[in-house]
Amino acid sequence: MAPEDMMFSYRGISYPSTITSPETLEALKSFEARDDDVILVGYPKTGTNWLEQMVKELADARYTEEEMKERINAEKKLETFQRLELGDPGVYEILVLVRNPKDTAVSYYHFSNNLPLSPSFDSWDEFFADFMNGKLAWGSYFDHLAEWNKYIDNERIITISYEELKEDPILGMKKIASFFGFSLCEEDFSRIAKKTSFKAMKEKCGETHGKFGDALFRKGVVGNWRDVFSEAQNEEMYRKFQDSLGGTKMAAKIKYDVYCKA
Ligand code: A3P
């Protein structure tokens, strides 16, 4: 496929035509959520597959092993689609996942070059320029964060960061469980923390994510950006972050000074 055919633009944002279409996005306007649905919002490479697994485990902890087997069989019969792309933040309870922009960019760069879903890049510098200009599939991460910052105080929304889940997964899961009203015992939390650790998920990634597994579960650490960012790129991103989010609650949540300090 020619690079220009791999993307289409919908309401000013690019999407990969290999996995979605304008018709799909248009049809989502009439999507109706049930009141017990959990909607997870995340820009690519912020850890969406990790948190999705965690939330599934938290929600399913109430079922016995036998009941789980039945649920898995029933699920296999359904055609599930897991990426919704659009939704009305006023209506559902929403879990917003954020990650520091430097690690998100580096993760997105490797992902773009390891998967044939979107155009690949000749160099990190070329990718960095597009990341800063928001020219990538799913648009600008800075615009995405600025948009969700508008809802950060909404009582139906909880924002969680990749870094806080890394630092203390059990505490992070307890916040999520309490927000959605899942009741679990201490052992459930430790069991799920083990099952959703990077090592455990990477080991199973062939089974859970097929041929995409290796590209999705890459390093799973905080601070990998240090290997690739130049001094000039550190400065450029700092300025962009300040311009887009400086002084906001979203900026405080992301802790740029801690996780992106050059
Ligand atoms: P890296 O490329 O920095 O390793 P997404 O699922 O939104 O595409 O995000 C992918 C990123 O989340 C990758 O980051 C991946 O390694 C990381 N990730 C996936 N599972 C994880 C886990 N269990 N613990 C920590 N990081 C995880």
CATH number, position 187: 3.40.50.300
Atom of ligand 1 nearest to the CA of 44: 7
Query: Where residue 90 falls among pLDDT bands split at 50, 70, 90?
Result: very low
Range of the domain at 166: 3-259
For residues 12-22, average pLDDT: 86
Give distance in angstroms: CA of 50 to centre of ligand 1.
6
Give distance in angstroms: CA of 66 to centre of ligand 1.
30
Under a CB-based contact definition with an 8 Å cutoff, are residues 149 and 245 in contact? yes
Is the distance from the beta carbon of residue 46 to the nearest atom of ligand 1 less than 6 Å? yes
Average pLDDT, the chain: 90
User: How many CA atoms lie within 13 Å of 131's alpha carbon, on the beta-carbon side?
Assistant: 28
- Highest mean predicted confidence (pLDDT) among 5-14, 127-136, 210-219: 127-136
Give distance in angstroms: CA of 200 to centre of ligand 1.
12
Which of 16-25, 137-146, 182-191 shows the lowest mean pLDDT across its residues? 16-25
Atom of ligand 1 nearest to the CA of 219: 4
pLDDT value of position 83:
59
Number of domains in the chain: 1
Is the distance from the beta carbon of residue 220 to the nearest atom of ligand 1 less than 6 Å? yes
Give distance in angstroms: CA of 186 to centre of ligand 1.
25
User: How many CA atoms lie within 13 Å of 64's alpha carbon, on the beta-carbon side?
Assistant: 2
> Higher model confidence: residue 38 or residue 197?
197
For residue 115, is pLDDT > 90? no
pTM of the model: 0.86
